[in-house]
Amino acid sequence: MIGIGLLGSGFIADTYADGLRDVRDARLVANFSRDPARAARFAETWGPVARTHGTMEDLCRDPEVDLVVIALPNEAHLEAVRIAAAAGKGVVCTKPLARTAAEAAEMLRIVREADVWHGYAESSVFSPNIAKAYDMVGAGAIGEVLSMRAREAHSGPHAPHFWDAGTAGGGALLDMGCHTVETARLFFGKDVPIVEVFAWGATLVHGDRTTGEDNAIALLKFANGRVATVESSWTERGGMHLRHEIVGTEGRLITDTGSTPVWGFVQNPAGYLVEKADAETGWVHPVPEEARAYGFSQEMRHFAERFAAGLAPSETFEDGYVVNAVIDACYRSMKSGVWEPVEPAL
C-alpha cells in the first residue's frame, strides 16, 4: 500500500483526493494545509486523514508518506519539489509544472540529482475521451495526423491566486494552454518536437482582476511541418468548454467534454453541477463523476502503479519542462509579433 502525502487543501487537492478513491493500492495518509480551517474541512470531506501537517517539511518527513502529490499554487511548486526531494520522496506535481521553463528546469535538475521518482500530473491526456481518441489514432483509424485544434474555455479561475499573473507566471495560456499543448504533443508524437510558435494574447474582459491575458491563441509548428492550434479563454460563460479536433489523412476525430450525458433546463437549483458552471438554473450540463471524466482518477492510478513497479510514468517532469518551454516561446511571440523558436528540451 502506497502512502500518499497531499500538499494542499483547495479545489485541485479535493479533486486529487476524489481521484485517489479509485486507486486500489494507494492511501491518503497525510495532508498539508496553510489554513487550519481548510485542513479541517478537507479531512471532513474526504474522511479521516491520519495526520494533518502544518509544514511541508513535516509532511515530507512523515515515514508513512511514500509519494508526495503537490496541489499548491504555481509559485509554491519549486520549493515543494525541493523539500520532497531532500526527504527522498517520490513526487507528483500538478500542472503547470512551473511558471517558466527556467523554473521547470531547476525542478527537473533537483529530482534528477536526488534520484527520486517524478510524475507530471497533466490530467487531460489521461481523460477517457482523449485516451480513446489516442488509441484510435495509434491504430491508424484516421491515417497520418495532419492537424489538431484544441480549445479550453470558461469564465475564469475559481482560485484567486491564478488571477495574479505576476505571481502565477501568466494568464489563461499558462493556466489552460498547458493542457492542450501536451495533448498536441501526444497526438503528433513526443518524438516530433515543437520547433517554433506564433501567439496572440490580450486582456479583453478581466482587466480589473488580472494583468495577464484572459484570451490567447497559439500556433505550434512541429518539426515535420504540421501545426496545432491552441485556444485558451477566461471569458466564455456557461461552464467548462473543452474540445479537440484531430484531422488525419483518412478521417477526423472530435472530443468534446461540453457535450455531457446529462443536460436539461431547470428552474430550481440542484446543487453542484460542474466546475465553473456559472449558473445553477436554466440550461445546465452537469458532468457525472467529474474526477473520472477529466482524467484525475486515471492519472492517480497510473502514477501509483508505475511508482509501485519502479517504472517511469508516461508524464514526467521532462514533459512538464517541454510544455513550459513552449508556453515561454508563446509569451515571447505575443510581445514580438513574430514566430519564436522553442528552446530545445533538456
Over range 82-106, report the average pLDDT: 98
* Residue 148 pLDDT: 98
* Residue 202 pLDDT: 97
Residue 55 has pLDDT above 80, yes or no: yes
Rg (CA), the chain: 20
Question: Taking the CB of residue 268, how many other CB atoms lie within 10 A of it?
Answer: 6
Amino acid making up residue 156: G
Q: Which of 191-200, 209-218, 224-233, 290-299 has the lowest mean pLDDT?
A: 290-299
CATH of 125-294+325-341, picked from 3.40.50.261, 3.30.360.10, 3.30.365.10, 3.40.50.10860, is 3.30.360.10
Please state whether 88 falls in left (phi above 0), alpha (psi between -120 and 50) or beta: left
What are the residue ranges of helices labelled H in 118-222? 128-138, 165-168, 172, 178-188
Q: What is the mean pLDDT of the chain?
A: 94
* Residue 150 pLDDT: 97
Q: How far apart are CA 157 and CA 28, in angstroms?
A: 26
pLDDT per position as a tens digit, 159-186: 888 999 999 999 999 999 999 999 999 9
pLDDT above 70 covers a percentage of the chain that reads 99
* Residue 176 pLDDT: 95
pLDDT band at 139 (very low <50, low <70, confident <90, very high): very high
pLDDT band at 312 (very low <50, low <70, confident <90, very high): very high
Residue 77 has pLDDT above 80, yes or no: yes
Residue spans per domain, the chain: 2-124+296-315, 125-294+325-341
Residue 66, C-beta contacts closer than 8 angstroms, at least 6 positions apart: 2, 3, 4, 89, 90, 307
pTM of the model: 0.94
Q: How far apart are CA 222 and CA 225, in angstroms?
A: 5
Q: How far apart are CA 233 and CA 215, in angstroms?
A: 4
Handedness of CA 65, 22, 299, 199 (dihedral sign): negative
Facing residues of 192 across strands? none
Most confident of 171-175, 260-264, 268-272, 285-289: 171-175
* Residue 281 pLDDT: 86
Residue 115, C-beta contacts closer than 8 angstroms, at least 6 positions apart: none
Residue 265, C-beta contacts closer than 8 angstroms, at least 6 positions apart: 282, 283, 284
Residue 47 has pLDDT above 80, yes or no: no
Residue 309 has pLDDT above 80, yes or no: yes
* Residue 169 pLDDT: 97
CATH architecture of 2-124+296-315: 3-Layer(aba) Sandwich (3.40)
Give the pairing type, strands 26-32 and 51-53: parallel
Q: Which of 85-99, 109-123, 264-278 has the lowest mean pLDDT?
A: 264-278
* Residue 286 pLDDT: 79
* Residue 39 pLDDT: 86
Q: How far apart are CA 346 and CA 332, in angstroms?
A: 20
